[in-house]
Amino acid sequence: MPAPQCASCHTARAALRRPRSGQALCGACFCAAFEAEVLHTVLAGRLLPPGAVVAVGASGGKDSTVLAHVLRELAPRLGISLHLVAVDEGIGGYRDAALAAVRRQAARWDLPLTVVAYADLFGGWTMDAVARSTAGSGRSRACCTFCGVLRRRALEEGARLVGATHVVTGHNADDMAETVLMNFLRGDAGRLARGGGLGSPGEGGALPRCRPLQLASQKEVVLYAHFRRLDYFSEECVYAPEAFRGHARDLLKMLEAARPSAVLDLVHSAERLALAPRRPARALCQACALLDGLNRGRPRLAIGKGRRGLDEEGPPREPQPSRPPTSEPVPDF
C-alpha cells in the first residue's frame, strides 16, 4: 500500500506518523512543525528574550545537536545569538570522540565554540580520576552524581567565560520524565519540587537556564536529526550502564506502552508539584561539597552516604588544602 499523502502540504508522500498525534507528515513538514513547537515553547515560556547571548551546552549527542540546529534556525526570529559550550569531563575513550562531533558542528554551522575541562576548573580532577576515587560498590551511580553536579558548574563557568546571558541544555521530555521518576523513587521531594518548569530564572547569581526541548519526545528528536541529516555522536558514556537512571528508563518504557501520554503527564505533573519548602542555603554549594569530599579522600561523605553529605546541612567545615588526584585516594564506597 503506498504511503498516505502528507497531512500538511498535501503534495508529498508522508514519511512518518508523529508518535503522539499519529499525524502522517513528509520529512520537510515534520521538521517545520518540530521547529514551530520549539519556537512556541521558547516564546510562551519567555525563555530567551531578544538580545540574549545563549550558551548551548553541546555534548555532541543527539539532543544538544538537535537543540543547537533548531535554535540556529530560530535565532533570527528570536533575536538571539548562540555560542556552543562543550565540557570535557576527562572520560577516556568517550568524550574525545563526542567533542570531535561538536567541533564538526561548530565548523559546519559557523558557530563559536568554547571547550572547558574539569581538569582545569576543578584542581586536576577528571571524571576518570573521580571514578577511581569512588571505586567499589555503587561506583557508576556515584560517577553520575559527581558528573551531573560538576558539569552544571562547568557549563556555568563556560557560559560566563563567553559572556552568555542564558544557558540552554538539550534535555527532552523523556529525560525529564526519567528524572521525575528517579526523584519519586528516591523520595527526593526537594528535587521534585525544584525540577519542574522549563528552566530556572537564575537564582543565587547563576545564569538563567532553560530546556527548550523539554516538551519534545525522544523519538521526535531522533526523527528530526534523521530528516535534517545531522551528524551526532551516539555512544553511551562508559560510566552510564549501571546508573540508577537506567531503571527509571526501563520503567518509563513500560508505563508508556500501557499509557502513551505517560511521558508528558510526568513532565507536566512535575511542573505543578510544590511538595517541599525551599531548603536554607548550604555552607558549600553542591560542586564544592563534592570536591571537598574528593580532596579529603572521602567521596562517600559528599554524596550523602556518610554522616554529613550533600543533602544534609551542617556548619561550614574548615577549608582543606586541595589534593591533586595523582595518588589513589582511599576509597570509602
Ligand X SMILES: Nc1ncnc2c1ncn2[C@@H]1O[C@H](COP(=O)(O)OP(=O)(O)OP(=O)(O)O)[C@@H](O)[C@H]1O
Per the annotation, binding residues for ATP are: 57-59, 63, 87, 170, 175
For ligand X, the closer CB: 26 or 86: 86
Measured distance CA(7)–CA(19) in Å, rounded: 15
β partners of residue 199: 210
Q: Which of 18, 24, 34, 61 binds ligand X (CB under 6 A)?
A: 61
Q: Which of 41, 105, 133, 169 binds ligand X (CB under 6 A)?
A: 169
Q: Which of 18, 26, 27, 62 binds ligand X (CB under 6 A)?
A: 62
Contact between 3 and 10 under an 8 Å Cβ cutoff? The reply is: no
Q: Which stretch binds ligand X (CB under 6 A): 28-36, 51-59, 130-138, 252-260?
A: 51-59
Q: Mark residue 131 as left, alpha or beta (left: phi above 0; alpha: psi -120 to 50; beta: remaining).
A: alpha
Nearest distance from C-beta of residue 218 to ligand X, angstroms: 8
Nearest distance from C-beta of residue 62 to ligand X, angstroms: 4
Q: Which stretch binds ligand X (CB under 6 A): 8-16, 168-176, 189-197, 198-206?
A: 168-176
Nearest distance from C-beta of residue 65 to ligand X, angstroms: 7
Nearest distance from C-beta of residue 308 to ligand X, angstroms: 28
- Residue 87 touching ligand X (CB under 6 A): yes
- Residue 29 touching ligand X (CB under 6 A): no
- Residue 59 touching ligand X (CB under 6 A): yes
In the complex, which residue's CB is closest to ligand X?
A: 61
For ligand X, the closer CB: 221 or 289: 221
Q: Which stretch binds ligand X (CB under 6 A): 82-90, 103-111, 135-143, 279-287?
A: 82-90
Task: Please name the amino acid found at residue 226.
Answer: H
For ligand X, the closer CB: 81 or 114: 114
Q: Which of 14, 48, 63, 121 binds ligand X (CB under 6 A)?
A: 63
Measured distance CA(237)–CA(71) in Å, rounded: 25
Nearest distance from C-beta of residue 90 to ligand X, angstroms: 10
Measured distance CA(47)–CA(272) in Å, rounded: 18
- Residue 126 touching ligand X (CB under 6 A): no
- Residue 64 touching ligand X (CB under 6 A): yes
Measured distance CA(286)–CA(146) in Å, rounded: 9
Task: Please name the amino acid found at residue 1.
Answer: M
Q: Which of 69, 171, 209, 300 binds ligand X (CB under 6 A)?
A: 171
CA distances from 188 to 150, 176, 211, 290, 332 (A): 20, 15, 21, 19, 24
Phi (first) and psi of residue 55, to 5 degrees? -90, 115
Q: 96, 143, 88: which is closest to 119 by C-alpha?
A: 88
Nearest distance from C-beta of residue 206 to ligand X, angstroms: 15
For ligand X, the closer CB: 86 or 192: 86
For ligand X, the closer CB: 63 or 128: 63
Q: Which of 58, 143, 173, 287 binds ligand X (CB under 6 A)?
A: 58
- Residue 214 touching ligand X (CB under 6 A): no
CA angle (95 as vertex; 93, 99 as ends), nearest 5: 130
Q: Mark residue 204 as left, alpha or beta (left: phi above 0; alpha: psi -120 to 50; beta: remaining).
A: left
Nearest distance from C-beta of residue 238 to ligand X, angstroms: 13
Contacts with ligand X by CB under 6 A lie at 57-59, 61-64, 86-87, 89, 151, 155, 169-171, 175
